[in-house]
Amino acid sequence: MTKTTLLMPTSPASVAAAAPPVQFLDRDHSILAFNERVLDWAKRPDVPLLERLRFLCIVSSNLDEFFEVRTAPHLTAFQANDSKGLYSIESFRALSSAAHDMVARQYSLYNDDLLPAFERQGIRVVSHGERNPAQRRWVKEYFEREVRPLLVPVGLDPSHPFPQVANKSLNFIVRLGGHDAFGRENDIAIVKVPRVLPRLIHMPSHGKDKSRLFVSISSVIRAHLTELFPGREVGQFSQFRVTRHSDLAVDEDDVKNLRTALRQGLEQRHYGQAVRLEVSAGCSEHLASFLLKQFNLPSLALYRVHGPVNLVRLTQLVDLVNDPKLLFPGYSACYPTQLQSGESFFERLKEGDVSIHQPFESFDGVLAFLREAVNDPQVLAIKQTIYRTGADSELMVLLREAVRRGKEVTVVVELKARFDEEANINWAEMLESIGAQVVYGVVGLKTHAKMLLVTRREGKHLVRYAHLSTGNYNPRTARLYTDLSYLTADPLMTADIDNVFVHLASQSRLPKLHHLLLAPFQLHRKLIEKIDALGEAASQGKDTRIVAKMNALTDEDLMLALVKAGQCGVKIDLIVRGACMLPAQVPGVTDNIRVRSIIGRFLEHSRVFYFRCAEEETLLLSSADWMNRNMLRRVELAWPVTDPVLRQRIIDECLVAYLHDSRDAWDLQPDGSYLRVSTGDPHTRHGAQAALMARYSAPQQQDK
């Protein structure tokens, strides 16, 4: 069980002033609690070994981002001796305590469980002390050939001050004895490890030993530090890594060219405020104190680790070993079941809307839709939003081909998609250079909506076809994230989408929309109105229900509306993968609200909102989580599913199946802790993702 008992007092909100007081859970601790649930996958003996390592690395990657984005205000408050408010001395201490505890358990799991399990499989990461003479000779040759030419040790003195250390880079600090070439006693040196060097290297085995052997780059360098400082005595040393605040802040009202300002900001991101220092467990107090002083960090920001300072890079071992016996069974998604390969999308969509449940059904259906639009001479225009596509994207190649074929291509590129800024800037510049119309949305708002609109000439008429999605246009993550794609030719829906594109490009007043709900204009208000209306109906004795699936729930107004509706009698189930600040099942406050989190093989990412009053049902799909930023500081979409058959399919697959999950589900407790659901025989427990994989896997489709 993961305990999170820190509560945050609520601030007044207008929408549910009559609701009894509720204490929200702390957001940052809720994020850490989510990572506890991910870490559980790395602990589970029923999970294949390489996948356990992968989940351990995912937690480390998540923690890196947590420190990069969430901890700076707490640290700043601590250093300023602030004792009140959301960010304070106590908030930093509490967050540091929770983070230190999680990191300690990560390394304990790595050293005590995973490494011995790998050794039983004949897979070893061999430390310097374990290497035999032949292996040491091989490592020395590798060091001389591949590593030493790239290293430039820096001895510190007045003319060689402490060097700039990039965010999350691997480095060594060394304490030297004796005198340098000029007779001075400068005793500290820094060795930067270039990012181009692999963090794990396959080492050949000899003789009858059939083990798969690997060495870490840190152990290779550690074993040969003395050779980097001829004539000096190498005494104390340690690997270290500093994490820096990396959330780009650009004053959009004060820049003339957002793209240029962001590119300049990216150059500085690697050298922002230091927020965490990781060193080897055996690092001396002298060296640790020296580093803390250099990075202006308190001792609570120091993390001593029993192993490599960057567990994320151990994902290389998954690829280097690549043993099917130690991985999840391969999954091949079927082609979307509502579509037939080779059939025209334009003809199919005249018959009705299509939903694609990714990754159980293939994202290839979305690419095929765009590919047909690009190749069809009757298609005149293509408009698309770009949030995250990746550096190597077939979708962007198709848009480039559309421009080459003379179609009008308009792309709304979100330059501020965190950690994808550079890729998006590069795509924007490429498309603009060949004649596409590239716009960057609305100043002060992130464009997070996922839309693709195709305009086609059919006889004397122009007909629109559209794709909407709860997730990104990224073929790689489409194989790893659960999302819903939605294809439609509905005239009112596509007209709404076109109006949104015109609004984003021209920033003109948005006309009244028929079907779409758009943030920051009416989505927040409409959701609250729906919740309030169900609360009113429940108070009149009507049968009411809310089931909402999302990635995060942190918006106070929406949470207060849910509390009020629950107190009126509405039965509410929330499926929230990550941070959730709304405590469930608190007596007298949230008795009618249940919250569960599903952590599975795939990352839960779809947003599905269900509202029912008696026999009247509303189902919305959305790009938006229930967070203040999504509702008020982003361009987001929600749209209704009106076809009753399609609506029921989505309800069954995305809501009902997850509410009955007894394998990958965790239920939120009133104090903020999560209990893993474990009902029934462990071998027959229902897992929603496993059931969907069985239903939609390509081999089964072929067998039919």
> Which active-site residues does the annotation give?
448
| Three-state DSSP class for residue 427 | helix
CA of 651: how far to CAs of 362, 449, 641, 642, in Å?
A: 20, 22, 10, 12
C-alpha 518 chain-centroid distance:
23
- Write out the DSSP string of 92-119: HHHHHHHHHHHHHHHHHHIIIIIHHHHH
In the chain, what are the helix, strand and coil shares in percent, each to the nearest 5? 40, 25, 35
In sequence order, what are the residues at sequence separation of 6 or more whose Cβ sits closer than 8 angstroms to the Cβ of residue 120? none
228's enclosing H/E stretch is helix 225-228
Of the candidates 492, 446, 496, 495, the residue with the CA atom closest to the CA atom of residue 472: 446
In sequence order, what are the residues at sequence separation of 6 or more whose Cβ sits closer than 8 angstroms to the Cβ of residue 131? 139, 215
Of the candidates 355, 431, 443, 448, the residue with the CA atom closest to the CA atom of residue 397: 431
Of the candidates 68, 76, 83, 87, the residue with the CA atom closest to the CA atom of residue 26: 87
CA of 88: how far to CAs of 5, 85, 93, in Å?
A: 17, 6, 9
The span from the CA of 124 to the CA of 127, in Å, is 9
Tokens 């929330």 sit on residue: 574
The span from the CA of 175 to the CA of 189, in Å, is 7
Of the candidates 267, 623, 604, the residue with the CA atom closest to the CA atom of residue 414: 623
Query: Cβ of 348: how many Cβ atoms within 10 Å?
Result: 17
The two tokens of residue 36 are 């506890």
Of the candidates 391, 392, 372, the residue with the CA atom closest to the CA atom of residue 382: 372
CA of 545: how far to CAs of 569, 622, 641, in Å?
A: 9, 19, 17
- Write out the DSSP string of 154-215: EE-BTTBPPPP--TT--EEEEEEES--TTS----EEEEE--TTS-SEEEE---TT---EEEE
The span from the CA of 189 to the CA of 170, in Å, is 14
The two tokens of residue 206 are 């000899």
- Do the Cβ atoms of 608 and 698 come closer than 8 Å? no
121's enclosing H/E stretch is none
Instruction: Convert 379-401 to b/e letters by CB count within 10 Å (16 or more is b).
Output: bebbbbbbbbbbeebebbebbbe
- Do the Cβ atoms of 206 and 134 come closer than 8 Å? yes
21: left (phi over 0), alpha (psi -120 to 50) or beta: beta
